């Protein structure tokens, strides 16, 4: 099994380009079921994207990945469509459940494996099903599968989500595209990735308006013409490299191909901690900071601080002066990086939903184990800041979501090897 070996405490400097967003590409791929011909640009070459492509191939779409250009070309001629998403393809990547909305609204039926729980929490799909039922779908669960039908088509409705979910908002939005009349979705997730999905759907000819946390969708015929879409940058990858830079920058690191407006809140938080950040139109420069300061924050739906950056921020706070607190408000079990960080010398205590981090502490290299995507990358960050050698096992989690991680860090002179 592959491992990452990091020789820490090496100062880094240089340039990093941010890849396209995995979490924006996945729902747009699911939305491509609704289209005829799609060209997606700026897609990240990561495992989850390949799994989604495999799923769409299984469903009957014709797909070509042009790796050198980070492009995916998709054709759907509606022939030999299989409205099934099997367990083997949904179990490793929850976003597979997003094909439910597209299949149901276009073909009137879908059989999609329940994704099940995962390391960071139970992660149910009740909110997805709640919305689809409100649109008139008949849904039953049998042998681990969601079996959904809408023989007469779906019907527009007003749906208020009891709590905010990115995936449920996306699934409901996809289903609403061909629901009769108008659908109003309330209390939606408004993450930049949801907005990118809306931009894509509008290119298909749909009329969609976003007002606050409400999304209004009007049924329209999908255009037959070829759609070209450039996926937005990965704001979580950006946040990760901003934190890596804050930990180990020598002079400065320039992070390119981004839009700072999209992560304004994260930038403000890092500035409060004492990270030196200079903003340009499409790049961010991180400079060497002096003392880092403690902070108390909670993870929240966008525009709040993202749960997907919680583990990485925690590593930074081990180097800040004083006692910081991070409350995890999105997932119930997302502190699995903590025991590993403690093995590297971090002083962290968990009380219910809150991690209490005492800093600054000297981190020292150790053999550690990755448990999920973001926890894994937090260990990479800790390894960069730690003395001596850190070995990270089970790095397949990292490959699900970070494109060319070692290559990007090495280009900034970090000592990191995959063995």
Of 102-110, 159-167, 200-208, 379-387, the segment contacting ligand UD1 by CB under 6 A is 159-167
| 6, 74, 85, 95: which one binds ligand UD1 (CB under 6 A) | 95
Nearer to ligand UD1, 189 or 246 (CB): 189
Query: How far is 124 from 234, CA to CA, in rounded Å?
Result: 25
How long, in residues, is the chain? 419
Q: Mark whether 118 is an active-site residue.
A: yes
User: 213 exposed, middle or buried (CB, 10 Å; 0-12, 13-18, 19+)?
Assistant: middle
List the helix and strand counts (H, then E) for the chain: 14, 24
Looking at the Cβ atoms of 204 and 330, the one nearer to ligand UD1 is: 330
Q: Which of 118, 210, 323, 356 is catalytic?
A: 118
The least distance separating ligand UD1 from the CB of residue 120, rounded to whole angstroms, comes to 8
- For residue 291, the tally of other CB atoms under 10 A from its CB is 11
Restricted to residues 191-220, the positions that interact with ligand UD1 (CB under 6 A) are 193
Q: How many residues bind ligand UD1 (CB under 6 A)?
A: 22
Single out the residue of 10, 123, 287, 410 in contact with ligand UD1 (rule: CB under 6 A): 123
Q: What distances in angstroms separate CA 208 from CA 23, 37, 311, one per listed residue?
A: 20, 20, 35
Q: Which of 124, 153, 303, 322 binds ligand UD1 (CB under 6 A)?
A: 124
Contact between 85 and 59 (Cβ < 8 Å): yes
Could you tell me the end-to-end alpha-carbon distance of the chain, in angstroms, rounded to an integer?
9
121 lies in the site for ligand UD1, by CB under 6 A? yes
**Distance in angstroms (rounded) separating the CA atoms of residues 73 and 38:** 6
Question: Rounded CA gap, 291 and 92, in Å?
Answer: 41
Q: How far is the CB of 113 from ligand UD1 (least distance, A)?
A: 15
For ligand UD1, which is the closer residue by CB, 97 or 380? 97
Q: Is 331 in the site for ligand UD1 (CB under 6 A)?
A: yes
100 near ligand UD1 (CB under 6 A): no
Q: Does 303 bind ligand UD1 (CB under 6 A)?
A: no
Q: Are strands 283-287 and 249-256 parallel, antiparallel or unpaired?
A: antiparallel
**Residues contributing to the site for ligand UD1 (CB under 6 A):** 23, 26, 94-95, 121, 123-128, 165-168, 189, 193, 306-308, 330-331
């Amino acid at each position: 099994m592959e491992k990452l070996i990091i020789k820490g405490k090496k100062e880094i400097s240089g340039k990093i380009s941010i890849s396209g967003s995995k979490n924006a590409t996945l729902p747009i791929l699911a939305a491509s079921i609704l289209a005829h011909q799609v060209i997606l640009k700026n897609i990240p070459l990561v495992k989850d994207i390949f799994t989604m492509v495999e799923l769409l191939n299984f469903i009957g779409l014709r797909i070509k990945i042009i790796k050198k250009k980070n492009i995916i070309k998709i054709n759907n001629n509606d022939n030999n469509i299989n409205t099934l998403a099997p367990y083997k393809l949904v179990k490793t990547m929850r976003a597979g459940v997003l094909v439910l909305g597209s299949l149901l609204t276009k073909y009137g039926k879908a059989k999609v494996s329940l994704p099940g729980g995962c390391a960071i929490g139970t992660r149910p799909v009740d909110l997805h099903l709640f919305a689809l039922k409100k649109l008139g779908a008949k849904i039953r669960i049998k042998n681990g599968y969601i079996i959904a039908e809408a023989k007469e088509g779906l019907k527009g409705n007003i749906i208020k989500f009891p709590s905010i979910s990115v995936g449920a908002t996306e699934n409901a939005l996809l289903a609403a595209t061909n629901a009769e009349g108008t659908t109003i979705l309330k209390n939606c997730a408004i993450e930049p990735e949801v907005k990118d999905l809306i931009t894509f759907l509008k290119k298909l000819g749909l009329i969609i308006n976003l007002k606050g946390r409400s999304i209004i969708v009007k049924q329209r015929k999908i255009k037959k013409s070829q759609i070209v879409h450039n996926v937005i940058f990965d704001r979580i990858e950006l946040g990760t490299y901003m934190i890596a830079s804050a930990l180990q920058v020598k002079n400065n690191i320039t992070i390119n191909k981004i839009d700072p407006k999209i992560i304004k809140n994260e930038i403000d938080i890092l500035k409060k901690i004492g990270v030196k950040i200079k903003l340009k139109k499409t790049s961010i420069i991180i400079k060497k900071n002096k003392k880092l300061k403690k902070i108390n924050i909670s993870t929240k739906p966008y525009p709040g601080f993202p749960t997907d950056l919680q583990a990485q921020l925690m590593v930074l706070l081990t180097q800040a002066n004083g006692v910081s607190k991070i409350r995890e408000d999105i997932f119930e079990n997302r502190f699995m990086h903590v025991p590993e960080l403690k093995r590297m010398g971090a002083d962290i205590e968990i009380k219910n939903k809150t991690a209490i981090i005492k800093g600054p502490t000297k981190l020292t290299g150790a053999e550690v184990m990755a448990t999920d995507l973001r926890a894994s990358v937090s260990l990479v960050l800790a390894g960069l800041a730690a003395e001596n050698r850190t070995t990270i096992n089970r790095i397949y989690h990292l490959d699900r979501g970070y494109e060319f991680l070692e290559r990007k860090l090495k280009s900034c002179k970090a000592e990191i090897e995959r063995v």
